[in-house]
Amino acid sequence: MFGKHIGIDLGTANVLVYVKGKGIVLNEPSVVAYSASDSRVVAVGSKAREMLGRTPGRITVTRPMRDGVIADYLITEAMLRYFIKTVCGRFNIFKPIVMICIPYGVTNVESRAVVDATIQAGAKEAYLIAEPLAAAIGANVPISSASGNMVVDIGGGTTEAAVISLNDIVVARSIRVGGNRLDDIIATYVRKKYNLSIGERTAEEIKVQIGSALPLERELTMEIHGRDQVDGLPKTRTISSHEITEAISDALAAIVDNVKKVLEQTPPELAADVVDKGIIMTGGGSLLRNLDKLIARETGVPAYVADDPLSCVAIGSGRALEHFTIFRESLMPV
């Protein structure tokens, strides 16, 4: 009654925190910098992200979440504790009740690890909600009626497609391909074609500035800086949007294939609803240029990007906690 009600989107790339009555209060990269000798946390979030590729040997910078699940339990717990303290205050008497989003189809061990880490980080109670369901709630999709609604959530580590009806998931499928995989592919492409080593941040900048799911009528170019693999010296190269489209085409094909497979498994009545309403796209990955057009072209179903795709999952988790009695039966078992 007295503690805060918090919804957390514990993503591979970013952590967003929603507080009842306030909305999104925190949006930080899910990156932690810690001392390699004594595992002491040095920085969390944006401060840690600034250190990526720029630290001495005694400091390790890591993403404790990988493909939407915990890769490093202790570091994830430290990160969650930091974010919960930031939101609730250091001297808060009442522990918060937390709703956390996790990918659809994770194992019991993976989901239990998230709950345990959240309780250890200072939560009074912790509940789990599937990301596609939270995304639909956050995007204001009318999921309470007996009608089919399709959501595709493209995060940093996973892409999840789901058809939802009567406040629950009817058909869903999750693949471990997301924004981070696209960054890795871009970095590999630049290394192979230009003999240039670039960092994770540079690869992400390339994707955001000139990346596109379909060839652009007016080609974009960008200057990139990296280390030449032959002589080891810093070099500058120019890369085009057409090259990036070609490089990421296989990963995008996997995303489209995931959407198609969910549509194939959808009951006919719900599939008819989806064709009428279209596909709602959420998550940071949905902001890639022309990805909505690619999905619409390949599936024959209209696709639309939600108003605030980055925040949908966090907002949905918070709202699910606010209306706990309605969504209790739809939550993930622990």
Task: Tell me what pLDDT residue 67 has.
Answer: 84
Domains and CATH numbers, the chain: 5-133+313-330 (3.30.420.40), 139-177+253-309 (3.30.420.40), 179-247 (3.90.640.10)
Average pLDDT over residues 97-126: 92
Collapse the DSSP code of 308 into the 3-class scheme (helix H, G, I; strand E, B; otherwise coil) and give the result.
coil
83, 15 Cβ separation under 8 angstroms: yes
pLDDT above 70 for 1: no
pLDDT band at 114, cuts 50/70/90?
very high
Mean predicted lDDT score pLDDT of the chain: 93
Reading phi first (left if > 0) and then psi (alpha if -120 to 50, else beta), residue 21 is in left
Which position has the higher pLDDT, 56 or 260? 260
Task: Tell me what pLDDT residue 213 has.
Answer: 96
- Considering the chain, what percentage of its residues have pLDDT values greater than 90? 82
Give the whole-angstrom CA distance, residue 278 versus residue 234: 47
205 secondary structure, DSSP code: H
pLDDT above 90 for 3: no
Average pLDDT over residues 227-232: 91
Give the whole-angstrom CA distance, residue 124 versus residue 162: 30
The CA radius of gyration of the chain, in Å to the nearest whole number, is 20
pLDDT band at 2, cuts 50/70/90?
low
131, 285 Cβ separation under 8 angstroms: no
For the CA atoms of 26, 31, 34, 39, the dihedral, rounded to the nearest 10 degrees, stands at: 90
CA atoms within 13 A on the CB side of 171: 18
Residue holding tokens 């709202």?
A: 319
Per-residue model confidence as pLDDT tens digits over 5-34: 999 999 999 999 999 889 999 999 999 999
- Considering the chain, what percentage of its residues have pLDDT values greater than 70? 99
